[in-house]
């Protein structure tokens, strides 16, 4: 039954039962970490052959360029071709960087602050009070970049087809201080939704008061399927070109969750003006990326068929974990009216909304019982979830047995926090 329908007596009894369960768990000194979306060792093993695939005699490009030496600051042509197919853009729209797409995204925004971007009127630092739109719940490391750079964040509600576009359109049309929006358009972090065609088209077509408005299109989970449903994300590069806003999107991706989280490749794609601008900034800031590691990826994956076949192997490892997590949530929280959660078709997370005002307490209780979760609020700008209800679950790194145990702790912690809340609001 729904806990909200319980009478005071039943609630009190439930609280007692839950508290006993939690106390028992606390005594067992579990240590389970569910904070971040990390691949498991089994997933990392899938690219074992990549580790030694480039030998000392394989270090040259087709034109004889020695990839061990300096040069090719925007990446090797073979890697550009692979990631052009990955992002569905032309190869000359691609920059292949180092191992961190977060770093490419940071550099893109830090570069805008320091020097400006094409179509703008100079460095963003020249103007105070600049803002950025942040669909919520979202990715905490996107928000940290804005916070660090002094870009004031405006939360935008996520719907089941992407950010609330009525709100977005109204804001950007009026306010030239709004310089951009963060998007994880496919299997979004953490809600798992994929932007609808209509949302992509509206993002491409909308009028923005800022001439140099940028869409930070972090396509982190482009090929990270969990189910048989494979939603097709509309190509924003083409959508913007068609609407005359070609310079608007900056697209990003990485192989952090395809090859190695610590030793993968990061990639950026954008219009010719944006690529020229980024390449010129990079030419001052770095000698260029590790080209040998780019070659490793090219030799291992070869083409998109290779990438997709590889991601099927990831899926085989991950889908059972998400099924176990969902099953546990259904079994332990289903029908109680305490929480709603996503059932993602891809990506790395399950997003849980508990009763308003209960997330912080549930995360605290879970921590006491040995389950580390990302802090409540982390999925919101400045770490502030106005309804204190969203919690991001990251099951990929855990074994099935650990997931069962983690969900045991999590669900009872949610129950405990919510029952306390319900009792308090009764009294």
To a copy of itself, the closest distance from the beta carbon of 140 in angstroms equals 11
User: Within its chain, how far is the Cα of 288 from the centroid?
Assistant: 26
To a copy of itself, the closest distance from the beta carbon of 209 in angstroms equals 24
To a copy of itself, the closest distance from the beta carbon of 143 in angstroms equals 10
CA angle 350, 351, 352 (to 5 degrees): 115
Instruction: In whole angstroms, give the CA distance from residue 198 to residue 162.
Output: 9
80 or 336: whose CB is closer to a copy of itself?
80
In eight-state DSSP terms, residue 234 is: P
To a copy of itself, the closest distance from the beta carbon of 318 in angstroms equals 15
To a copy of itself, the closest distance from the beta carbon of 125 in angstroms equals 5
90 or 262: whose CB is closer to a copy of itself?
262
Query: The tokens of 212 are what?
Result: 């140099």
191 or 256: whose CB is closer to a copy of itself?
256
Q: Where would I find the H helices in 210-303?
A: 236-243, 272-285, 291-301
Query: The tokens of 40 are what?
Result: 């498991």
261 or 362: whose CB is closer to a copy of itself?
261
Residues in the site for a copy of itself, rule: CB under 8 A? 36, 38-39, 41, 44-45, 48-49, 51-52, 54-56, 59, 66-72, 98-100, 102-103, 106-107, 110, 113-115, 125, 141, 144-145, 148-149, 256, 260-263, 281, 284-293
**Cα dihedral sign, 239-242-243-248:** positive
Local structure of 308: helix, strand or coil: helix
107 or 201: whose CB is closer to a copy of itself?
107
For 192: left if phi > 0, alpha if psi spans -120 to 50, otherwise beta; the answer is left
261 or 267: whose CB is closer to a copy of itself?
261
User: Within its chain, how far is the Cα of 20 from the centroid?
Assistant: 36
To a copy of itself, the closest distance from the beta carbon of 144 in angstroms equals 5
30 or 106: whose CB is closer to a copy of itself?
106
- According to DSSP, the residues that pair with 339 across neighbouring strands are 354
113 or 251: whose CB is closer to a copy of itself?
113
To a copy of itself, the closest distance from the beta carbon of 319 in angstroms equals 20
Instruction: In whole angstroms, give the CA distance from residue 371 to residue 405.
Output: 9
H/E stretch holding 101 reads helix 101-115
To a copy of itself, the closest distance from the beta carbon of 6 in angstroms equals 43
Nearest to 135 by CA among 338, 351, 356: 351
The four Cα atoms 187, 191, 193, 199 give a dihedral, to 10 degrees, of -110
């Amino acid at each position: 039954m729904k806990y909200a329908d319980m009478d005071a007596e039943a609630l009190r009894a439930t609280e007692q039962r839950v508290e006993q369960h939690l106390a028992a768990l606390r005594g067992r000194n579990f240590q389970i970490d569910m904070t971040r979306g990390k691949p498991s060792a089994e997933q990392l093993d899938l690219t074992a052959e990549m580790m030694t695939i480039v030998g000392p005699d394989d270090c040259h490009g087709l034109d004889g360029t020695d990839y061990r030496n300096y040069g090719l600051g925007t990446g090797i042509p073979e890697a550009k071709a692979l990631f052009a197919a990955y992002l569905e853009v032309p190869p000359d729209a691609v920059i292949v960087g180092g191992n961190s797409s977060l770093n490419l995204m940071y550099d893109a925004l830090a570069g805008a602050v320091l020097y400006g971007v094409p179509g703008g009127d100079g460095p963003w630092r020249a103007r105070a009070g600049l803002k950025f739109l942040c669909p919520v719940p979202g990715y905490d490391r996107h928000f940290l970049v804005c916070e660090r750079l002094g870009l004031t964040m405006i939360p935008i509600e996520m719907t089941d087809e992407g950010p609330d576009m009525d709100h977005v359109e109204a804001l950007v049309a009026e306010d030239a201080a709004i310089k951009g929006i963060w998007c994880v358009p496919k299997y979004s972090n953490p809600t798992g939704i994929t932007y609808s065609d209509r949302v992509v088209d509206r993002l491409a077509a909308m009028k923005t008061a800022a001439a140099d408005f940028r869409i930070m299109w972090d396509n982190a989970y482009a090929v990270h399927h969990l189910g048989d449903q494979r939603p097709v994300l509309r190509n924003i590069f083409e959508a913007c070109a068609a609407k005359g806003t070609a310079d608007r999107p900056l697209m990003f991706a990485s192989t952090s969750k395809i090859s190695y989280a610590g030793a993968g490749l990061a990639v950026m794609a954008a219009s010719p003006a944006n690529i020229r601008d980024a390449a010129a900034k990079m030419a001052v800031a770095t000698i260029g990326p590790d080209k040998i590691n780019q070659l490793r990826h090219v030799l291992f994956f070869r083409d998109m068929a290779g990438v997709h076949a590889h991601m099927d192997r990831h899926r085989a490892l991950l889908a059972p974990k998400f099924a176990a997590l969902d099953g546990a949530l259904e079994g332990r929280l289903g029908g109680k009216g305490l929480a709603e959660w996503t059932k993602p078709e891809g990506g790395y997370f399950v997003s849980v909304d508990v009763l308003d005002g209960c997330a912080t307490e549930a995360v605290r209780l879970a921590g006491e019982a040995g389950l580390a979760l990302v802090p409540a609020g982390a999925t919101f700008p400045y770490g502030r979830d106005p309804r204190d209800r969203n919690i991001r679950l990251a099951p990929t790194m855990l074994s099935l047995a650990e997931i069962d145990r983690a969900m045991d702790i999590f669900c009872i912690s949610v129950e405990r926090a919510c029952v306390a809340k319900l009792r308090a609001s009764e009294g």
